[in-house]
Structure 1
Amino acid sequence: MTTRVVLARSLRPAVRRATGVRALGTPRAFTSYNGPVAGLTPEQEEFRDNVANFAQKEIAPRAAEIDKKNKMPADLFPKMGDMGLLGVTVPEELGGLGLGYLEHTIAMEEISRASASVGLSYGAHSNLMVNQLRRNGSEPQIAKYLPKLLTGEHVGSLAMSEPNAGSDVVSMRTRAELDKSHDKYIMNGSKCWITNSPIASTFLIYAKSEKDAKPSKAITAFLVEKGMPGFTVGEPLDKFGSPPPSATIAASNQLTVTPLFQMRGSPTAEIFFDNVEVPAENVIGGVGNGAKVLMSGLDYERLVLSGGPLGIMQAALDMTLGYTHEREQFGQKIGTFQLMQGKLADMYTKLSASRAYVYAVARAADAGKVSREDCAGAILYVSDRCVEVAMDAQQCFGGNGYINDYEVGRLLRDSRLYTVGAGTQEIRRALIGRMFNEAIAKGQDHL
């Protein structure tokens, strides 16, 4: 029987308790996670436990290999599909779990705790692609594309950024011109830093389609399929920290130094469009509404992706707690030294404060009160704290923290992604400041 993530009693009336649920995974090592403080309902705790058990069994044991080989295992997306994790916010009648953004964020957290690389690809697929299709797609588009995205047979990818249009997305140069036949668009241009692009089958592409329109009405969103003539995916990008994946550096003693990247295993590449014919029926959200589709999705993107840093922090703290209570110096466990206790306490409180903020924003979103400044604020706050916690973890490991036999170094490398991905920290701060300015200029007494 297909295993599904289920709840004993759903927050959504339409969600039923499925039968035949089995617990996955073996008992985990000591964790600092505090359920009552997280404020989850019993149903949400059960959801979290099921996702955690799945991730610790199916993903965590392979995390080091994924990082070393820089390759996403082909079976992981179908397995996440079997669990229902690829459609957390998709209604049951469409094949999803019909749950909320809090559960989606929890899933992102637990998968990222097992492997940040898998978590990043999961978030790009389940939120940036699936959730956007669910929110903006037409019935025919949903019927055509959603089923295989939910099972994991197809992987999804969103393409927005370009070499000269990262944070300034409306300056994109990729164009889609309506053909004289009026039944297709001709797309030309390129996109860069596109997560999942080397393994994706379905892409959500943003391109300028309206020449004379103002910037907010010039962009249209399109569904583009792998294999369309003229659509190509480049080689995976060389990421922060080292030479290309195939390179090794010869040392004087004939040993080799293995290259290191952040988010290895989460494939990222450039994509190119050379007179790609995109059917007019593949426009999603309406012609000229691409900016609206994009901006509305960014709030949910920032919120759900905030679970990534939470998972990295939880993994870093749990690894550090285990290590500091095994490693001995001066005849005692290093975790019993007062200075080390202080560092562990700081890591724990940073994680706990981050989780409280993210979960609060997710609960508000589920109540229909999406806060743009707080979606930006959540990922801003947790991303900075994540880097700090990962650095503290590496410091607690001493010299071993710089050795690849210990996974804590990978967590530090991966933590840096969230300070630039899904918008830089500077853009997030600017957005929050602008929200204050606009509210005050309008004479509002609160945001």
Structure 2
Amino acid sequence: MPFDVGNDDELDLENLFSDIVIPDANMYIADENKAVELLAELIANKKNTSIRMKRKIEYKINKLFSLFSEVTIENKTELYNRFLDLCSRLSERQKIQKLQDKVVVSFGGKVSAGKSKFINTISGIEDKLPVDQKTTTAIPTYIIKARENQIHANSVYGYSTVISTEALNAMAHEFDTVYGIGFPAFADSIIIESKEYTLPDEIALLDTPGYTKYDDENNSRKVISDREKAFEQLSVSDYLIWLIDIDGGAITKDDILFIESLRIKTPILIVFTKADLKPESEIQQIIKVAKNTVKNTSISCFGITAYSANNKREYGAELISKFLDYTIKGTVRNNDILGEFKNVENEMRYSISKAGDESRKMAECLFFDISKSEKIMDVKSLTTLWGKANQNGYVIGKLLRQYDLIISEINQEISEFIKEGEKIQ
């Protein structure tokens, strides 16, 4: 149908494009003052006692292990390092509070694998998670069920601030390009709370930075950094869903090597995304080939399926919902730091008790040998050894009681640390 140009032979552009809406510019990009305000929220010198409180906990841990400096305890160095590692993670206070008792399901894959759109669709939160993020601006982002919609940006300085969806979009996209500032330097993680979230409350989803293929032609420092970011987040996943753009037609050697390097202890689910780009017969053939490929690797695979976010449809045996049900029934909770503290405490206590039991058993055996020996010199030597073993058992028993007292103090410090975090958010 020809355009109605009117009597003046000119196009009525206003009428022609009347139904086209031009989106408003992001205020954090258009207004430098707003950009400064957003940055200030994440680097503000807010009242924060986290450093002082963390140091108190570290002091108690060092005091605890100094008690056993002269006592041989199984795995003492490993347990000490695990205590300190957990202590360092206490700065993730907001995550500890929000993710308690939840299983974290992470999503990995190459850049442009369609992670964010996939997560938005299967979780029911629609477009809350920014899609097509630049790797340089990608911040680990958790999505959880909540009564109200809210977004928390967790500062690297140990506190949390509420931000708007517009601020999140600016952080994910243009801010780095316009101002040359990447938010990963200031934000440790993002937590999106959504009342539209349709998955079980026990599940938290984690969108991680995509990684770029590494090869001889694409071996820049940036690519290495991208892979390190992805590896850091995914290697501590409770459960992992690995996404592959179906347009590539197969699971690649690079995918396999990256997954194997993560050493995930739980089975992973592999999903080919953008499945609407292929006919169903080809989709099934791609899945079949991928299954055969994975069989020849060290990957523990829950299953392989395909999904279209555009059509909200899975092309397979509903493996996505089955996998999520499987994660809920599991006992893996790497983000449950308080639970991990309890696990290390119990392991330490067991090692101390075991050392005490071994000393007492040795003393009993030596006492028996003394009572049966008829040689004076043997009795003298055995008595010396018996005295040391007996004394060692007594000392370890005493140290175990001191251990319980200090552990109680540490737990109290951690409890206060978490409560303090609730006040300063």
Which category describes the TM-score, using the shorter chain as reference length? under 0.3
- Which structure carries more relative contact order (alpha carbon 8 Å, separation 6+)? 2
Which is greater in Rg?
2
**TM-score, normalized by length of structure 2?**
0.25
